[in-house]
Chains A and B, each alone.
Chain A
Amino acid sequence: MRQRFRWQRPLALKLTLIITLIIVMVVTVITILTVNRERQNFQRELEQQADLLLNTLAASGADSLYFLEADYLSDVMRDLGEFQVVTHGRYYDPDGRIIADAIDLDTRFNREPDIFGKVLLSGTETIYVWQDDQLIAGEPVIVGAEKIGAVSIGLPTAPLAEKLTAVRQQGIVVALGVALFGLVLTLLVSRSITEPLQKMIIATEHVRQGDLSQRVYIYTGDELQTLGDHFNDMTAQLEQTLRQMEEEIEERKRAQVELQAAKEAAEAANHAKSVFLASMSHELRTPLNAILGFAQLIVRRNLVGPKDRNNLEIILHSGEHLLTLINQVLDMSKIEAGRMTLHEKPFHLYAMMEELESMFRLRAKEKKVQLVMDVDPDMPPVIIADETKLRQVLINLLNNALKFTVQGHVRLQVQYEPGTAVSEMPFHLLRFTVEDSGPGIEPDELDKVFEAFVRAKAGIQSNEGTGLGLTLSRQFARLMGGDMTVRNVNDEPGYGAIFEFTIHVRPDAMVDEQAKAAPLQIIGLAPDQPEIHVLVVDDNWENRRVLVELLRPLGFVVQEAADGKAAVEAWYRWRPHLILMDMHMPKMDGYEATRTILGQAENHKPIIIAITASAFSHEREAILGAGCSDFIRKPVQTSYILETIQKHLAVQYLYAEATKMDMVVPAIVSTNGDETDGQALPPTLLSQLRQATSQANMEQIEVLVTAVATYNPTLADELHRLADDFEYGKILDRLGMEEVIE
């Protein structure tokens, strides 16, 4: 922004110059007016003189004009000219010809009329023509009714110029005198103003530097003295205010220190609470593990009579309730502590919906309540969101809906609203609506259902729930970018309740395309193919087991080697078609082993595929230079390994019948028990998992479920959840191991 021009000069100088300038201007204006007035007066006087002279010449020359006595008229004009009475003088005949001229005799006796003479004779009034140096005036000479001629004269204006020059010079002298006088006067006046101001400036500067004891003493008896008094009052008040502020600041500092201490104490207490809750969670969950696990096993094995079985089921029910309560309290404490975070990953919403339907179908059937799952057909198959929290919210809402609905229906509707950009990220909106035909919620309770440990009247009557479910659900919905609301059907109790929440999800185009184009599930080698021998070489036992457990169930004949040397020996002995070679091993690494094997093989060189964790291109070149046909980066992907094997050995696979669901969760395709979950798991892993579950060995279960994730992440998630809830019976159901238990 342009700054306005400011004249940075002392005030006294400004005042002096401005007032002096005004004085000079006033005197100048007065001088100009005086000069103009003098000019007007002179002009008026000169015109009067011209009138008088014209009238005289007309009167005295009338007779001669009548007789055209040029001689006499010339004498008159010549004398006027010689005596410098006029600067111009002429007599004209009735036609305007010059008869006599005061200055130039040669203008006479011209037969051509003079223009000015004709002008004079054309009227009856005196005509004045102002020229630079003279006034020309003329008039016709009228005798009776006849114009017998005309006369004109010129009077010099030199006296006017002299007079005006005198007035102008007089004005300049006066202007200079007045300006000088004004200058002195202004200096005196401005000093009387600026000196007190200077005192004020000095005092203000001291105040600015923090010296509030400054006072100014001005005794001019005017506004400046008032200003000084106000300044003193202001500084005194400011001094007092600052003193008070300092005291208040000191007080606030003390309070702040105390507040900080209190805050730290509160944080310590909160931390202690969190530690306590975590500890208590663990301490409570450990005995619950034993209580629930063995209770389930006892019930499943029918080791007790009907009465004790009923008691055991009460124990189970109470334990499960206690576990839910513990988990929810733990979640609440995490949310309050701000430590609840989202774990977003791609997952199939359709699969989740299928799972939920299967989860609640039986219960709905028992209550003769229609369970309707209505999913938007435009819903993308794969989305990115926190699957666990979304599932928890939906389970909670569906559970509540089924709990309070004795007849009618429970409907879960999912709407997909694409392109709802709420930020730079391309978020899409999922709107979930859970509607039931239960008793609904009293209007005065609608605002309270989301409060912690507050249950609606129906909830209290049912004597179920912890009072934290809806609170957590709304917190989770908000955590996922949305919110949750509740209303009654028809906006009044008695017709059912509608819980609606939204979350933001991100479509995963890559995952989506992968899902759409995903190959069918490979379930084994096609029949009528020669036996395929595969040698897995890795110094890490777990890595070897992963590959062995992947390939062997599909029909490959697999052997293992723990280093390069063992691999060379195995090749000599067994002659495998394909070797999966880890490149970094003790004794003999993959490079040397590859070169040895390929160097010694003649006609039947095996396909050697390197497995490496390196992502550097130079190692890729080294691998291919050693003779490897291909390479696979760790962590290995099942589909990529099988595709690579097919690429080099031209094997044929068998594929499962696939639906959209099948492509994602092939192990839980069926909910009617026709196929057993976990079929795709290695038998050893399956056996170990069954064993750990039967023994309620929580730590072992967690380790093995993590291994399950390598083969079936969805199944692993479900098993994790069941393990967290100590649903060991359900785990065994999912693994289909009744006969093992026996």
Chain B
Amino acid sequence: MWQRILLFILVVLVLAACGSEATSTPEAATAVPTGRTLVLGDISDEAAETIRGTQPLADYLAGQLADMGYSGGTVKIAPDLDTMIRWINDGEVDLYFDSPYPVLVISDETGATPILRRFRFGVPEYHSVFFVPKGSEIDSLDDLMGQMVAFEENFSTSGYMLPLAHLVELGMNPVLKSAPDSDVAADEIGYVFSTADDTTVQWVVSGRVPAGVTDNVFFSRLPEDTQAQLKIIAATEDVPRQMVLVRAGMNAALVAAIRTALLEMEQSEEGRAALEKFQTTEFEEFAEGAEVELARMRELYELVQAEQ
């Protein structure tokens, strides 16, 4: 939506003849593949930026898979999880990268398989933190009883699955509310979705909710002044940062070729450049196998699913 607004503003500015020059250059069209095309999918509300960051990886992988009949790679951005599930089910997306919770959802819905771990921003694992304004009377999760807490969105690992599962496991009766100012009973902890970590922090800072939850990496990147004005009252357990998911039905040779290409990316100049654009330092095998390592994730997932 925001792209339309920005486009509108730029058009207005041009019409106003303010002399400023709009420099919106259209994204260079991806060359039309003559053979098969490897499609990488993602869910984002910043499609252009995501495409700019992912396209080199798609091109790289396509190049690595040329022997497999791939002549090019492309990126498809879905606005939400359901769309992505439908695309994967329809075979329109070959590879998908995300955190554990959506990966498990898509995997359940489409039969797609996690094949590698992704170190996004060099972070192999992360967790969620509960925070309140410094000076708040809330010092622990117990103090949250009867209070409202802001989660990110309902397919977020750190902004939904981890904190919700954590509260459930602690038996603190989290209850989804429709708005930040909704009533919360004394024997429950109300939670509401802010749709973004930025908004979660803003709500706490602006006093719209007494507490919020984000992942620890996001929290650590907040301005120091902001961090100084907040205090963390609880943290969840660590989970893998992101994983690579291949659609169901992909032949094993192709999956193996993709795995190999991803694992060896850092060994070539082209691979390192694509990795950098993709905000990833490396891909890694599940040490004990995907199922073993995802077992705890699945427990948490099921707890969350049970709450819905």
- B-contacting residues of A (Cβ < 8 Å)? 45-46, 48-49, 52-53, 56-57, 60, 67-72, 74-76, 79-80, 83-85, 93-95, 97, 99, 105-111, 155, 159
Contacts and interface: CB of A to CB of B under 8 A. Distances in A.
B201 A76 contact: no
Given A48-B16, A109-B226, 17 more contacts: A52-B16, A69-B194, A69-B202, A70-B202, A71-B196, A71-B197, A76-B2, A76-B5, A79-B6, A83-B22, A85-B13, A93-B202, A97-B206, A108-B202, A108-B223, A109-B223, A110-B223
Nearest to A113: B206
Interface string B1-16: 0100110111011001
A74 B133 CA distance: 21
Contacts of B197: 71
Identify the 9 closest CB pairs spanning chains A and B, nearest first: A71-B196, A70-B202, A109-B226, A71-B198, A106-B223, A70-B198, A60-B5, A93-B206, A49-B18
A70 B196 contact: yes
B196 A56 contact: no
Which residue of A70, A80, A84, A159 has the most chain B CB atoms within 10 A of its CB atom?
Answer: A70
Contacts of B194: 69
Contacts of A107: 223
Contact of B9 (A48, A67, A85): A85
Contact of A74 (B23, B198, B205, B225): B198
A85 B20 contact: yes
A49 B16 contact: yes
B196 A68 contact: no
A57 B12 CA distance: 11
A68 B199 contact: yes
Contacts of A84: 20
Contact of A56 (B9, B18, B222): B9
A84 to B, nearest CB: 7
A83 B10 contact: yes
17 contacts: A49-B13, A60-B5, A60-B9, A67-B199, A68-B203, A69-B194, A71-B197, A71-B199, A76-B5, A80-B9, A83-B22, A95-B206, A109-B201, A109-B205, A110-B226, A111-B229, A159-B19
A85 B19 CA distance: 10
A109 B222 contact: yes
B208 interface: yes
B9 A110 contact: no
A68 B18 contact: no
Interface of B: 2, 5-6, 8-10, 12-13, 16, 18-20, 22-24, 46, 133, 194-199, 201-203, 205-206, 208, 222-223, 225-226, 229
A159 B24 CA distance: 21
Nearest to B225: A110
A53 B12 contact: yes
B14 to A, nearest CB: 11
A105 to B, nearest CB: 8
Contacts of A46: 18
B134 to A, nearest CB: 9
Which residue of A83, A84, A97, A106 has the most chain B CB atoms within 10 A of its CB atom?
Answer: A83
B205 A111 contact: yes
A162 to B, nearest CB: 9
Nearest to A105: B223
B69 to A, nearest CB: 39
B229 A110 contact: yes
Contact of A97 (B2, B22, B205): B205
A71 B212 CA distance: 15
B153 to A, nearest CB: 11
| Prevailing SS type, chain A contact patch | helix
Contacts of A83: 10, 22-24
A381 B122 CA distance: 144
A60 B12 CA distance: 13
A163 to B, nearest CB: 9
B9 A53 contact: yes
B109 to A, nearest CB: 26
Contacts of A69: 194-196, 199, 202
A71 B22 CA distance: 24
A43 to B, nearest CB: 13
Nearest to A109: B226
A52 B9 CA distance: 9
Nearest to B134: A111
B84 to A, nearest CB: 20
A151 B239 CA distance: 39
Contacts of B208: 68
Nearest to B1: A72
B10 to A, nearest CB: 7
B103 to A, nearest CB: 22
Nearest to B229: A111
Contacts of A48: 16
B158 to A, nearest CB: 15
Nearest to A48: B16
Contacts of A49: 13, 16, 18
Nearest to A84: B20
A103 to B, nearest CB: 14
A617 B228 CA distance: 124
Nearest to A70: B202
A555 B108 CA distance: 188
Contacts of B225: 106, 109-110
B133 A72 contact: no
A75 B222 CA distance: 16
B11 to A, nearest CB: 10
Nearest to B23: A83
A111 B228 CA distance: 10
Contacts of A79: 2, 6
A166 B201 CA distance: 48
Which residue of B46, B206, B222 has the most chain A CB atoms within 10 A of its CB atom?
Answer: B206
Nearest to B20: A85
Nearest to A93: B206
B72 to A, nearest CB: 29
A668 to B, nearest CB: 134
B256 to A, nearest CB: 39
A99 B202 CA distance: 7
Contacts of B20: 84-85
Contacts of B13: 49, 53, 85
A110 B134 CA distance: 12
A111 B133 contact: yes
A340 B202 CA distance: 132
Nearest to A72: B2
B182 to A, nearest CB: 14
B223 A56 contact: no
A309 to B, nearest CB: 151
Contacts of A53: 9, 12-13
Contact of A85 (B5, B10, B206, B229): B10
A70 B16 contact: no
Given A52-B16, A110-B229, A60 B8 contact: yes
Nearest to A67: B199
A71 B200 CA distance: 9
A106 B228 CA distance: 13
Contacts of B196: 69-72
B89 to A, nearest CB: 29
A76 B8 CA distance: 12
B12 A52 contact: yes
Contacts of B198: 70-71, 74, 108
A109 B197 CA distance: 12
Contacts of A45: 18
B201 A70 contact: yes
Nearest to A71: B196
B298 to A, nearest CB: 29
A155 B196 CA distance: 29
A155 B199 CA distance: 27
A99 B22 CA distance: 25
Contacts of A56: 8-9, 12
Contacts of B195: 69, 71
B6 A76 contact: yes
Contacts of A80: 6, 9
A83 B13 CA distance: 12
